Amino acid sequence: MRKDRRKFMHNLSLAAGGMLLAPSTQILDRYFIPERRIKNFGLQLYTLRDDIIQDVKGVLQKVASAGYTQIESYDGPNGMWWGMGAKEFKNFVGDLGMTITSSHCDIFKDFEQKVEEAASIGVKYLICPWLGKQDNLDKYKAAAEDFNKKGEMCRKNGIGFGYHNHAYSFEAVDGIYPQDILMHETDSSLVTFEMDMYWVHAAGEKIEKWLNKYKNRFKLCHIKDFSRHPVIDNSLNSVDLGKGVIDWNSALKTAFKNGMEYFVVEQEAYPGTTPIDAIRANAAFMKKMKI
């Protein structure tokens, strides 16, 4: 016991002495547990799908005032730019102090045009939002091949391409996870992944396990909480952040460690609240979150 104590005190004195020589960030990372905050986080506009079609600019102003600095758009009834030209949309969002980091889009319709428009305004990623449960594993392999082609098209235009999961790709088929096929059959230089943490949990999988398994492959994520009192239809189990069962400290800390770059809040159901009030509550949660 005494020997261990002397060794501990000796190491501690070396560490203290090293503070005079080593950069402070290295000392903190090595000897302490630094508290991190996510300074910039975004909102997937699908959260406000019923509101935004009524008043695009008014809703975007509310998003900015809630504290979001980034947005992720989607291919709505008026396109990714909501009836504005790409540059007009970018300028309006920029004047509100926000950037467009990514957008979900229909990758099977006018994709080349969408790539060119997204690249012209500095969008980082175009994301396939939905593949659908496939009849067999070979179809997931075919999808991965198509993702590589879409990724090459994006890379030539200076942007990235990614795939956003739902529960089905994290549900094993004959002992094989479709998500594993998508990860292995895609070129990491062409295809990234946006982890929807809600749907990973809904599939009965551990978020941290997949983040650790595929380091640096998940560059974006959807932060969406899962109800403590779920119903059968998983699309209805979304709740305000902090009111559900997902351990966000663990999930986001693991995401940081494994190369996550963009953190996108999303909510699809609003028990006891409204979409606008939900995004405000979620922004407040994100601002207070320490990992």
Residue 204: HSE in the Cβ half-sphere, 13 Å Cα cutoff: 4
What integer pLDDT is reported at residue 161 of this predicted model? 99
Record the pTM. 0.88
pLDDT in tens, 226-250: 999 999 999 999 999 999 999 999 9
Domains and CATH numbers, the chain: 1-34 (no CATH), 35-288 (3.20.20.150)
pLDDT average, residue stretch 155-171: 99
